[in-house]
Amino acid sequence: MSKKRVRIYTGFERFWHWTQAVLILFLAFTGFEIHGAYTFFGFREAVRYHSIAAYLLLTLIAFAIFWHFTTGEWRQYVPTLENVRAQLEYYVFGIFRNAPHPTRKTMLSKLNPLQKITYFGLKVVLIPLVVTSGLLYMFYRYPTRYGIEAISVGSLKFIALAHTLGAFLLMAFLVVHLYMTTTGEAVFSNLRTMITGYEEVEEPASTGTLEGQQA
């Protein structure tokens, strides 16, 4: 058995992932300060930093969407029921018996079926919830300076509550997401892959990168 370095994540993907990670953490930190959970920057500064980070994240999301569609990578996130059972069984039983991963990460199929479902939900439900409520929060009767009352909503309440709910869900995701990085071949191998872009796989055959989902 030879060890082989297989490329999983492109440079842009890693840039996107880590920038997004930093921004979301910073947004959560400033956001929960605005929410009144603690005082660190002070309310006014927290609002200012939160807004700046929000614009940066929106820009990043725009690039990421462009990238996903131009490269066809969006297909990675199409949820499938195939192998879901195997993957679930792995996390519930196999992982405790040192069983092999039921699916393999490759350039063409980076996500296991559970990840597909999770990230699909993240991208189609949770991120849009946070982004939409965040945009409404920012532009809720906001551009009055220019004489526009573009979005005239009766109350900020539901916008703010949706945004808060989204923040809690994202934080719960983060906890599980961080833990799941330890479930690779070794505790830090998934993390290393996300940083370097390469995964070291034990490869009996020479064609390791063609089809990932070995049954």
Partner 1 sequence: MVKEMKRAVPILVTIGLVTAVAVVSALTPKELPPTPLAQLKEQYAKKRTPSVDHSKFPQLQRAFARPQDVTSACIECHNGRHTEVMRSNHWRWEREEYVKGRGVVYLGKKNAVNNFCLAAEGNELACAKCHVGYGMESVKTFHFDDPRNVDCLVCHDGTGTYAKAQNKGGQPAPTVNLTKVAQSVGRPGRSNCGVCHFYGGGGNNVKHGDLEEAMFEPTRDVDVHMAVDGANMQCVDCHVTEKHNIRGQLYSLSSMNRNRVTCEQCHTSTPHEDDLLNEHTLKVACQTCHIPVYAKVNATKIYWDWSTAGKLRNGKPYEEKDAEGNILYMSKKGTFRWGKNLKPEYVWFNGTAHHYLPGDRIEDPTQPVILNRFEGSYADPDAKIFPVKVMRTRQFYDSVTRMLLLPKLFAPRQGEGALWEDFDLLRAMEVGMKEHGLPFSGKMDFIETIMYWPVNHMVSPKEKALQCSECHTRHNSRIANLRDFYIPGRDRSPKVEAFGKGLLLLAILGVLAHGGLRVVTLWRHGKEGKR
Which residues form the interface with partner 1 (CB under 8 A)?
34-36, 39, 42-44, 47, 91, 95-98, 141-145, 154-157, 160-161, 164-165, 167-169, 171-172, 175-176, 179, 182
CA distance 34 to 46: 6
* Chain-centroid distance, C-alpha 156: 27
CB of 186 to partner 1, least distance (A): 11
Q: Residue 67: CB partners within 8 Å, gap ≥ 6?
A: 12, 13, 16, 73
CB of 191 to partner 1, least distance (A): 15
- Match 């934080």 to its residue by tokens: 171
Q: Which is nearer to partner 1, 86 or 169 (CB)?
A: 169
- 196 by Cβ neighbours in 10 Å (0-12 / 13-18 / 19+) ranks as middle
Q: Which is nearer to partner 1, 103 or 133 (CB)?
A: 133
Q: Which is nearer to partner 1, 3 or 145 (CB)?
A: 145
CB of 78 to partner 1, least distance (A): 26
